[in-house]
Amino acid sequence: MSNELKRYCLITGCAGSIGQSLARGFSSAGYQVIATDIEVKPDGLDCLHYIQADLSSIVDDEQYAANFFSTVRKHIGGNGLHVLINNAAIQILGGVDSLSRQDWQNTLEVNLLAPFFMTKALLPELELARGSVINISSIHATLTKSNFVAYATSKAALSGMTKAMAVDLGSRVRVNAIEPGAIETQMLIAGFNDNLAQLEKLKHCHPAGQIGQADKLAKLAIAIADDGMSFLHGACVPFDGGIRSRLFDPE
């Protein structure tokens, strides 16, 4: 494949289950995947290049950010960036009376500000490829529960920023978001402490009768990034098994 035909995709948060599925899916779809995470590269991660990086430092430290984006550009090699997936996120649980200033700062830097500065810094490469930004938001952008105050606020802001960026950038670069519900990841399963009955109950809370799969989320992201989806812009696409349509009242 010549350089002119190569399609590059940068994905953040690739040490987690969803990030690994996104890397695998986009690699299988023919993209040259540049993966990044604060953690060391997971064994078997499907990517062309891996950059270990701290998103909070990209937000806070201009020189650190300049070095990171210089590395990305070296990997792209003068080509455009076809897809930027802002997938990395942290989930600090706590209520109004327990969340600290540091909790808020960390949450907003990783979940909201990093996607903004990643997009801003890579705009020339995205425009060159007539590329696409996909922000991985959450069902918590619109529906949440106790002790998710910081996470839900950051995701609501990320979905709002997706729409505002689409308006601001116009036809230069498409910007969309995916808002997943429960996705079967190692973190989700661990949260049930091997209580399979409760996990089964969660499945049936969804009208689809199942929990979402990370590889299916990756397929949705690939479809959104496709050149044929040029009219999809500023959208926040639900991927939640229909649960946000369900009213839980006593029957």
Question: Residue 193: how many CB atoms within 10 A of its CB?
Answer: 8
Label residue 192 by pLDDT band (50, 70, 90). Answer: confident
Looking at the predicted structure, is the pLDDT value of residue 3 above 60? no
Strand partners, 133: 84, 175
pTM for the model stands at: 0.95
Residues 6+ apart with CB under 8 A from 193: none
In a domain, 150, yes or no: yes
Label residue 79 by pLDDT band (50, 70, 90). Answer: very high
In a domain, 131, yes or no: yes
Label residue 251 by pLDDT band (50, 70, 90). Answer: low
In a domain, 246, yes or no: no
Question: Residue 72: how many CB atoms within 10 A of its CB?
Answer: 21
pLDDT at res. 2: 45
**How many domains is the chain partitioned into structurally?**
1
3-class DSSP state of 141: helix
In a domain, 251, yes or no: no
Q: Which residue from 194, 177, 228, 218 is spatially nearest to 28, judged by alpha carbons?
A: 218
Q: Is 126 exposed, middle or buried (0-12, 13-18, 19+ CB in 10 A)?
A: buried
Active site residues: 151
pLDDT at res. 250: 67
pLDDT at res. 24: 98
Residue numbers of the domain that contains 76: 3-240
Domain CATH number, residue 206: 3.40.50.720
In a domain, 247, yes or no: no
Looking at the predicted structure, is the pLDDT value of residue 17 above 90? yes
* H or E element in which residue 125 lies: helix 123-128
* Identity of residue 111: N
In a domain, 54, yes or no: yes
